[in-house]
Structure 1
Amino acid sequence: MGGLVGQSRGKAGLRAWGCAMAGLFLVAGCADDGTPKGAASSGPPGTSATPSGTPPSAGGSGTGGTGASTPTARPGAATAIPMPPLDESKQPRTAAEARDLLGRVIIAEQDLGPQVVRSTPFESDPGRWPVLDEACVWQTEGLPDDVLATSTRHFHIPAKDGRGRVRISATVTIHHNREESGWETARAMEEVLRCPDQKLREGEELKSLWGGALYLGEQLNAWTEDAFSESGDYVNAQDGGPYPYTWSQAQFGPVTMAISAKAGQGVTNEDLTVFVAQGTSVMMIQAKQQLGKAAG
C-alpha cells in the first residue's frame, strides 16, 4: 500500500515524503532531495531520538521557530517501542470491551504538552461516525457494522504572541479484527484521491490535500502495521488562511489511532508535526501495551 496518492510531486517529492512517512527520527535530518542522511532510529514521524525524560534543548522543542512563543510538545517525547506480535485473545469482542480499551489508548491534553487545553465540545458522540459524502462534505452517521467503538477528543493551543490558534484532534477506533482496521486506512486513502478539497463544516475547509501510505517494513517503517498521512491547507472563515494542515493515522491489530492538527497564523507545518508525532506515539505505545503479546 506504499506510495503517493493525490497530486504527483516528482521523484524528489516522493523521497521527501518517504523520509517523513517512514516513521524515522533522522539524527542528521534529510538531504535536500528528501533522502535520509546520517543514522536513524525507528519511531513515528518527527519523534525525537532523545531518551524519554530528557529535557529538550534550549529554545524549546518546537521545530518551526525559537523562543517561548513556539509551540512545544511536553519534554521527553514518547519514543516508539518494537512491534510486538498481536495477542488475539486480548482483542475486544463486544462494544463494552471496545469502549474500555479505547479509554486506555486515547490521549489526554497532558500527553501533548503544557500549552494544550481541552476544547468545547471535548469528545465526540460515541454513537456517531464521520462520513465523507459524494459532494466532499463531512457528515455524521451511526456506527457501521465493522466498528465496535470510536471516539474523537478535541484540543487546542490558544492564540498568543501573534500566533494563531492551533486545533488538534485525536481519534481512536476499535474494529473486530486487523482486516477491518486495514480497510479503514484504505478508505482514508480513497477519500484523498476522490476529494482533494473537503468541507469540514460551515466556514471550515481543507484544500489541496495529498497523502501517502506505508505498510510495515516499507521505507524503514517499523512502528505501525499501516501508516497513512495527509497534508494540505486549512481555511477558516473566522481565522482566515490558508494555514498548514496535517493528519496521521497508525494501526495496530484492530485499533486505528489518528491525530490531526490545523495551524493558525504564524504556525508552521513543522510546528504541527511535533504534536502529531507525539500524540500518535503515545497512543501506539498504549495500544501495543494493551494488545501485544508479552515478551518471552
Structure 2
Amino acid sequence: MGGLVGQSRGKAGLRACGCAMVGFILVAGCADDGTPKGAASSGTPGTSATPSGTGGSGAAGTGASAPADKPGAATAIAMPPLDESKQPRTAAEARTLLGRVIIAEQDLGPQVVRSTPFESDPGRWPVLDEACVWQTDGLPDDVLATSTRHFHIPAKDGRGRVRISATVTVHHNREESGWETARAMEEVLRCPDQKLREGEDLKKLWGGALYLGEQMNGWTEDAFSESGDYVSAQDGGPHPYIWSQAQFGPVTMAISAKAAKGVTNDDLTAFVAQGTSVMMIQAKQQLGKAAG
C-alpha cells in the first residue's frame, strides 16, 4: 500500500532518517530478495543465527531450507505476484496460514529458546493509547487472525538476556495490511517514548518505511522499521531496540528485539533480519502465484 503509507510519510520529516534505518537493515541483514546475509558471522550473542533448515512451525512442511553451502542463508524467493485465490476468507483459514508463516525458535539459531508465556492470546490485539501506553483489546474488524511468539537468548558469560518477539497478522486484503503499516509509522511520530508495561519502556524511537522498489527494497511490499532505546527495571538500560515489519498481500510479519548488558545493535540486527526474511519467504510460498 505505497499510496496509503506514502500519505503517512508525508506528515513529518521522518522519511529521510527512516530510509537510512530500513536501508541499513537491508544492507546489513538481507539481500534484495529477503535472503539473510552474514547472519552466521555477525557476532551475535552465543552462536550464529543459523536457521535449523525448516521455517516456521512446520505446520505444512513449507519451511525454507538453508542451502548446505551457505550456512545462515535462507532459500531466496523473488517477489511473486499475489495469488488472490489463496487469500484466507475466514478466521479459521487465517489461523492456518498464520501457523505456516510464523517462525519457531530454531529458525533464529540454536541458542534461542522459547519464553514463558510463549504465544499471545489469539483474541487480543495491542493498542497504543493516548498516553503512549500499550494496552490490549479485542481484534479490530480488519484483522482475521494474529499471533505473537516470544523467544529469548539466556543471559550468559556476562551478557544479559536478549528478548525477541515474532508477530504475524492476517488481514482480509492488501489494503488493510497497508494501513497497518501506516498506523505503525504514525505511532512512532505520535509517541517517540512508549511504555510497554510497568517497568518496561521504549525511548527515543524513530523509523520509516520503504515501498517496494524504493531504494534497496526489492523483497517486501512495504518495509517498515523502528529503533530506539529499551529501558527495563529488570534489565537496566538504555539498551538497543529494533523492530522490523514486512508485508506480502494481506499478511504482515514483524520481529522485535531488545538488547541487554553486553549486547549491541548489530547483534540484534542479525536476528531481526533472519526472522523477517524467513517469514517473508514462507508467506510468498503460501500466497504467491506459481512460476510459469
TM-score by length of 1: 0.79
Separation in structure 2 between the aligned mates of residue 245 and residue 72 of structure 1, nearest angstrom: 32
Provide the secondary structure at the position in 2 that maps to 1:271.
helix
CA 35–291 in structure 1, closer or farther in 2 if over 3 Å, else same: closer
Taking the aligned partners of 2:271 and 2:38, their CA distance within structure 1 comes to 24
What CA distance in whole angstroms lies between the structure 1 residues aligned with 2:2 and 2:39?
A: 23
**Matched residues in 2 for 1:175 and 1:91: separation?**
9
CA distance in 2, matches of 1:115, 1:263: 15
Rounded to whole Å, the distance in 2 between the matches of 1:87 and 1:32 is 21
Deviation of residue 271 (structure 1)? 0.2
Q: CA deviation at 1:47?
A: 16
Assess, with a 3 A threshold, how the Cα gap between structure 1 residues 93 and 66 changes in structure 2: closer, same or farther.
Answer: closer
Note if contact 2:87-2:287 (Cα within 8 Å) is conserved in structure 1: yes
1:81 is displaced (CA, Å) by 1.9
Residue by residue, what CA displacement relative to the aligned partner does 1:25-84 show, whole Å, maximum 9, x if unpaired? Answer: 888999999999999999999999999989xxxx99999999999999994232542100
When you count helix as a share of all residues, which structure comes out higher?
Answer: 2
The range that moved more, 181-190 or 28-37, is 28-37
- Cα deviation, residue 231, structure 1: 0.2
Instruction: Tell me how far apart the structure 1 counterparts of residues 280 and 123 of structure 2 sit (CA, whole Å).
Output: 23
Q: Report the CA distance between 1:201 and its aligned residue.
A: 0.4
Task: Name the stretch that deviates more: 37-46 or 14-23.
Answer: 37-46
Range moving further from structure 2, 25-34 or 133-142: 25-34
Is the Cα contact below 8 Å between 1:211 and 1:229 reproduced in 2? yes
- Do the aligned residues in 2 keep the contact of 1:245 with 1:269 (CA within 8 Å)? yes
Seen in structure 2, the aligned counterparts of structure 1 residues 235 and 84 have a Cα distance that, compared at 3 Å, is same
Change (3 A) 1:74 1:187: farther
Task: Label 1:42 to 1:204 Cα distance change in 2 as closer, same or farther (>3 A).
Answer: closer
Kindly tell me: are residues 98 and 31 of structure 1, through their superposed partners in 2, closer, same or farther at Cα, counting changes over 3 Å? closer
Cα offset for 1:238? 1.3
- Residue 276 (structure 1) aligned to one of 272, 279, 288: 272
* Residue of structure 2 in register with 1:39 after alignment: 39
Distance in 2 (CA, whole Å) between partners of 1:266 and 1:71 is 31
The residue that corresponds to 1:176 in the other structure is 172
Structure 1 Cα separation of the partners of residues 247 and 143 of structure 2: 14
Ranges in structure 1 where 5+ consecutive residues have no aligned partner: none
Tell me how many residue pairs correspond in the alignment: 292
Residues 64 and 164 of structure 1, relative CA distance in 2, 3 Å threshold: farther
Cα separation, partners in 2 of 1:277 and 1:67, compared to 1, 3 Å: closer
Q: Name the CA shift for 1:81/1:243 in 2 (closer, same or farther; >3 Å).
A: same
Q: Deviations over 1:198-257 (max 9, x none)?
A: 000010000000001000000121000000000000000012100000000000000000
Name the SS of the counterpart of 1:3 in structure 2. helix
* 1:6 CA displacement: 15
Q: Structure 1 pair 91/265, CA: closer, same or farther in 2 (3 Å)?
A: same
Distance change in 2, residues 1:67/1:287 (3 Å): closer
Identity of aligned residues (%): 91
How far, CA to CA, are the matches of 1:33 and 1:53 in structure 2? 18
Contact 1:42 1:222 in 2 (8 A): no
Question: Does the aligned pair in 1 maintain the 2:172–2:250 contact within 8 Å?
Answer: yes
* Alignment check: 8 A CA contact 1:98 1:148 kept: yes
**Greater relative contact order structure (CA < 8 Å, 6+ sep):** 2
Question: In the alignment, is the contact (CA less than 8 A) between 1:261 and 1:272 conserved in 2?
Answer: yes
How far apart in 2 are the matches of 1:200 and 1:228? 20
Q: Which residue of 2 aligns with 1:20?
A: 20
> Could you say if the C-alpha distance between residues 89 and 271 of structure 1 is closer, same or farther in structure 2, counting changes exceeding 3 Å?
same
CA apart distance, 1:162: 0.6
Say whether the 8 Å CA contact 1:147–1:175 is kept in structure 2: yes
- Take 2:31 and 2:12, find their aligned partners in 1: how far apart are those partners? 10
Kindly state the Cα deviation for residue 154 of structure 1 after the two structures are TM-superposed: 0.0
Point out where structure 2 has 5 or more consecutive residues left out of the alignment. Answer: none
Runs (4 or more) in structure 1 with deviation over 3 Å come to 1-54, 59-75
Compute the displacement of 1:151 (Å): 0.1
Aligned position for 2:53: 53
CA contact (8 A) 2:36 2:274 kept: no
